[in-house]
Structure 1
């Protein structure tokens, strides 16, 4: 366990963070306030997953996911494997089938660069970025050692299919995703 992971655990245990998402990315503590647009988009994504019959205990928001030899991440929405092993209030990247992030500020390097590389490197099967500023969802598939082999951009208003490594799938309709001015 790294010093930053220990800090993460301490923050998780002692700091009241309602309305904020805290992550340690690239060696920095990042504390992002949650906007209504992010909250509403997260609800829409979770609803799409639940409509497909995926059990509620496989779907978490802003819950720490541990990555070996790196600091943990807390995706806005995580879809976990059927037999995901919970370690206190955390899960491991081995059990992370899909991660969704809703951009909190235009061109956010954390979502568009750091997490693309990290999630792909650790084999997270699907990574989706919903961007209320550009009104585009970016779907990453086919993880590899440096990111993802496939990248598809879909304008808000379109639907797309998410296919999990378990064979399960669900459709995300972006037609109701709220937008935000930069």
Structure 2
């Protein structure tokens, strides 16, 4: 279901249109689709509903558990709507690690500028979004590390050093290898050996 509106330059965007998008996503969150494992988010102004596979949830939980030792408190968090730069981008990343000392905005949502690491678990039907408009939005928001796990190919992709809407550094490793996330937190090494494959 497309959402039509004027282009917005930043994460705040047009408050009225963005508020309508949040209302729509909240409504979809309350429908039976949520109980069936679907997540709704807005990407470039279009509402997208995707099924959250069991293996994807296992990978997200594994990553969140590993990040928790470096990000105590409310972080890392998952399945929360966060506004990102671009045309009505309201994403629901699998996992986000929030910078220490940051708190949610008055409306209860996290700010994209407070994120150290964002994680997406992708598959064939969502890879276009994760490697396309989401990558651009995360880089534009200056999220230091963007990590994609792809159980279809059994590979992980780490993007770092955001600049001008892109990431200058890209690393691809096979499931089973460790990934160095020390750019976000000291001694943070992500283990991927327990990630299930599709």
Are residues 1:55 and 2:72 paired?
yes
> In structure 2, do the counterparts of structure 1 residues 89 and 34 end up closer, same or farther at CA, with 3 Å as the change threshold?
farther
Q: CA deviation at 1:7?
A: 3.0
Unaligned runs of 5+ in 1: none
Unaligned runs of 5+ in 2: 1-12
Q: CA deviation at 1:27?
A: 1.9
Alpha-carbon separation, structure 2, partners of 1:4 and 1:169: 41
Q: CA deviation at 1:11?
A: 2.9
Provide the TM-score with structure 1 as the length reference: 0.88
1:7 to 20, 23, 32: 20
Provide the TM-score with structure 2 as the length reference: 0.82
State the superposition RMSD in angstroms.
1.9
**Contact persistence 2:76–2:97 (CA under 8 A):** yes
Alpha-carbon separation, structure 1, partners of 2:122 and 2:165: 21
> In structure 2, do the counterparts of structure 1 residues 104 and 91 end up closer, same or farther at CA, with 3 Å as the change threshold?
same
Aligned to 2:10: none
Kindly provide the CA deviation profile for residues 68-123 of structure 1, in whole angstroms up to 9, marking residues without a partner as x.
56422221100001122313341111101110000043572100111111111110
Are residues 1:96 and 2:103 paired?
no
**Contact persistence 2:39–2:49 (CA under 8 A):** yes
Alpha-carbon separation, structure 2, partners of 1:75 and 1:164: 20
Aligned to 1:130: 149
> In structure 2, do the counterparts of structure 1 residues 4 and 137 end up closer, same or farther at CA, with 3 Å as the change threshold?
farther
> In structure 2, do the counterparts of structure 1 residues 12 and 161 end up closer, same or farther at CA, with 3 Å as the change threshold?
same
Number of equivalent positions: 178
Aligned to 1:139: 158
